[in-house]
Amino acid sequence: MIHYARIISCYTADTSGVCSALYELGGMVVVHDASGCNSTYATHDEPRWYDMDSMIYVSALTEIDAVMGNDERFINDVCRSAEKLGPKFIAICGSPMPAMTGTDFDALASVIQSRCGIPTHPMHTNGMKSYVSGASEAFEMLARCYCGSTGNVKNAVNILGATPLDLSRQEIVDSIWAWLKKCGFEKGCCMAMGSSLDDYKTAGDARCNLVVSSSGLRAAKVLQERFGTPYVVGLPLGEEFAVALGEDIHRAVEGKTEIVSCALRGEICADCKTVVVGESVYAGSLARGIMMHTGKPVRVIHTLDAGGELIAGGDRKITDEDKLEEEFAKCSCVIADPLFKPIAPANAKFVPIPHEAFSGRCFRKNIPDLVDKKLGLEL
């Protein structure tokens, strides 16, 4: 049976991706969903909930509301809440039930904005896609609607696509800033950990954008289109790749072009038996870091939404559990989230690298900060 997980976990959904991308920006995110579901979006999939407040709500959609299409209740509740809370913007997104009933979120956003006078953005989620889809749409919206430029280019780099779903903790983002400073760049804004919505007003003044997850790629392309800002895709995992990635940023600035550093791994033989599994930018960057450190070939198995530009020769894109199990059977070393281990062959070496969007808080304390550090992985 395809598209079915019998043993392994599933990745957090697109709705949670929106909530995570917009968490720190002072907006109000309303998920059109049943009562009681807020804990999924705001605690299970969002670790900042325990340390930082955010305006994330559910509409408490009832069966009769869904059947009768009672959109007026949703509109009134959102407008009343916005009047009390005064958010900088409103984002409304869907879950499986409104997707089944054909709720028109573009129309709802238009009515809400006209009534309460607050910028309102429809997010076209349905709870059936991965967080990469939802976060990508949210970051693209931020790039189009809230990023600006003073016209004075500064020697800064923005970070795009940072959420705890991929990077887990603020300390890892801080490590990226420290590495960028070491590379000779100033601190720009971070979309979206550790920066405010006001910080985005000068995002277009940066010399380059560093895309640290698949979720940030669409925003990078929008900023390139609007301000001509080049972008580089990759995470500085491992000392050797950190040096190479820094050089790529300088080359991108000089050439005013984009460089997908995490996919510059050459043509890897399809029967290479060492694989890194997971989100494309992190997995690709780790694979390249390992290759530069050990001199051994490493393939990536992309288990999430991945554009062709993120996939190097020899990589595979696999999302179904049964096909993953078949692919793992060919491997001698699997580097992946611990929840993939049950479908890895017993005779293969398994190296756990937890991914918060896959295993949640289960292994959070074991997520390493590999930014510009020697890779101590035993392969």
Res 89: pLDDT: 97
Residue 254 falls inside a structural domain: yes
User: Residue 270 is part of a domain; what is its CATH number?
Assistant: 3.40.50.1980
Sheet holding 156-160, edge to edge: 186-191, 156-160, 208-211, 231-233
**Beta strand pairing status for 349-352 and 299-302?**
unpaired
DSSP per-residue string spanning 272-326: -SEEEEESHHHHHHHHHHHHHHH----EEEE-S---GGG--TT-EE---HHHHHH
322 and 270 part of one domain: yes
Q: pLDDT category, 38, cuts 50, 70, 90? A: low
Residue labelled with tokens 């078949």: 326
Q: In the prediction, which pLDDT does 34 show? A: 80
CA atoms within 13 A on the CB side of 170: 10
pLDDT range class, residue 342, cuts 50, 70, 90:
very high
Q: Which residues pair with 160 in a beta bridge?
A: 191, 211
> CB count, 10 Å around CB of 34?
18
User: How many of the other CB atoms lie within 10 Å of CB of 69?
Assistant: 12
Q: 6 in a domain, yes or no?
A: no
* Cβ-based burial of 4 (10 A; exposed 0-12, middle 13-18, buried ≥19): exposed
pLDDT greater than 80 at residue 41: no
Lowest model confidence (mean pLDDT) among 1-5, 50-54, 193-197: 1-5
**Lowest-confidence pick of 62-71, 93-102, 171-180, 328-337:** 62-71
Q: 45 pLDDT exceeds 80?
A: no
* Same domain assignment for residues 158 and 65: no
Specify the 3-state DSSP secondary structure of 33.
Answer: coil
| pLDDT for residue 1 is more than 60 | no
Q: In the listed set 245, 261, 277, which residue is the last one of a domain according to the structure?
A: 261
29 vs 377, more confident: 29
28-37, 243-252, 304-313 — most confident range:
243-252
User: Is residue 217 situated within a structural domain?
Assistant: yes
Any residues with CB less than 8 A from the CB of 50 and at least 6 apart, and which?
A: 43
Q: Are 25 and 49 in contact (CB under 8 A)?
A: no
Q: Write down the pLDDT at residue 36.
A: 65
152 plus 204 within the same structural domain = yes
Q: Based on the fold, state whether residues 169 and 216 are members of the same structural domain.
A: yes
Structural domains in the chain (count): 3
- Say whether pLDDT at 305 is over 90: no
Residue 141 falls inside a structural domain: no
Question: What is the tally of helices (H) and strands (E) in the chain?
Answer: 14, 13
pLDDT of residue 130: 93
Say how far apart CA 163 and CA 365 lie, in whole Å.
Answer: 17
Q: Which of 68-82, 131-145, 158-172 shows the lowest mean pLDDT across its residues?
A: 68-82
Q: In the predicted model, what is the mean pLDDT of the chain?
A: 91
Q: Which residues contact 180 (CB under 8 A, 6 or more apart)?
A: 157, 187, 210
Q: What is the pLDDT of residues 181-240, one digit of tens each?
A: 999 999 999 998 999 999 999 999 999 999 999 999 999 999 999 999 999 999 999 999
Q: Which domain holds residue 213?
A: 147-261
List pLDDT tens digits, range 247-289.
999 999 999 999 999 999 877 776 788 999 999 999 999 999 9
Q: What does DSSP assign to residue 339? A: G
| R_g of the chain, CA atoms, integer Å | 21
Distance between CA atoms of residues 266 and 326, nearest Å: 24
Confidence of residue 379 (pLDDT cuts 50, 70, 90): low
- Please write the tens of the pLDDT for every residue from 149-182: 998 889 999 999 999 999 999 999 999 999 999 9
What's residue 2's pLDDT?
A: 64
Q: Do the domain assignments include residue 135?
A: no
- Chosen domain end from 206, 241, 261: 261
Longest CA pairwise span in the chain (Å): 62
Question: Among candidates 247, 174, 162, which has minimal Cα distance to 212?
Answer: 162
Q: Are residues 110 and 201 in the same domain?
A: no
- Are 122 and 25 members of one domain? yes
Three-state secondary-structure class, residue 240: helix
Residue that finishes a domain, picked among 235, 261, 287? 261
Residues 273 and 218 in one domain: no
